[in-house]
Amino acid sequence: MADISIPKTIRASRISIAQLMHPEHANNLGNVHGGWIMKLVDEAGALACMRHAQRRVVTVAIDSMVFRQPIRIGDLIILNAEVTYTGHTSMEAEVQVQAENPITGERTHTNTAYLVYVALDDEGNPVPIPPLKAETEEEKQKMKQASERQQRRLKQNKR
C-alpha cells in the first residue's frame, strides 16, 4: 500500500473515461438518462480516489448535479476526474462531464459534479489516506474551494 505520509499530486489522481452513448442509455426523446450519467460520474470519481488512496473507496456524498445540456444518442460522453480535497480518510473528486459529437469534434460542457468518498481497508473500515499537494496556483485555488465545500457539508450534517 501507499505511504500515507507522502503527499500526492492532483495530477497523479486524474483519470478520463469516454463512452459512446447508445439507444439503451437514452429515453424515447434520444436524451441520455440522467441516472446513466450519474453512474458514470460516480465511477470516474471513485477511480480518481482509488488512484489517490490506492485503496477501495465508497461513495459518501454527491453534491447537487445540474444537467446544463442534454447528451444525445451518438454522442461521446467524456468524464475527467481528479481528487481536489483530502481529509483523514475522505476525499473529494471533481468530475467534469462533456458531450462530444464524434463526427464534428464539437464539445459541450454538460455538468460538473463533486463527490466525496472514503477509503476502506480489507475489512471495510475507513483507513487514512495520503494528503494532497497542489503544483500550480490553479490547483491551490481548486483545493481551497474544495475545502470550503467540505466545511459546508460538515456544517449541514451537524443539523
- What is the C-alpha R_g of the chain? 16
Q: What is the rounded distance in angstroms from the CA atom of residue 95 to the CA atom of residue 74?
A: 21
Question: How remote is the C-alpha of 74 from its chain's centroid?
Answer: 23
Name which of 63-67, 103-107, 122-126, 148-152 the model is least confident about: 63-67
User: In the numeric block, which cell numbers belong to residue 46?
Assistant: 471513485
Tens digit of each residue's pLDDT (9 = 90 or more) over 48-96 = 999 999 999 999 999 878 899 999 999 999 999 999 999 999 999 999 9
Q: Is pLDDT of 159 > 70?
A: no
Tens digit of each residue's pLDDT (9 = 90 or more) over 115-126 = 999 999 999 999
The angle at the Cα of 53, spanning 82 to 83, to the nearest 5 degrees, equals: 15
Q: Is pLDDT of 1 > 70?
A: no
Q: Is pLDDT of 18 > 70?
A: yes
Q: How far is the CA of 13 from the CAs of 6, 16, 144, in angstroms?
A: 14, 10, 17
Neighbouring CB atoms inside 10 A of 136's CB total: 11
Provide the pLDDT for residue 81: 98
Task: Grade residue 158 by pLDDT with cuts at 50, 70 and 90.
Answer: confident
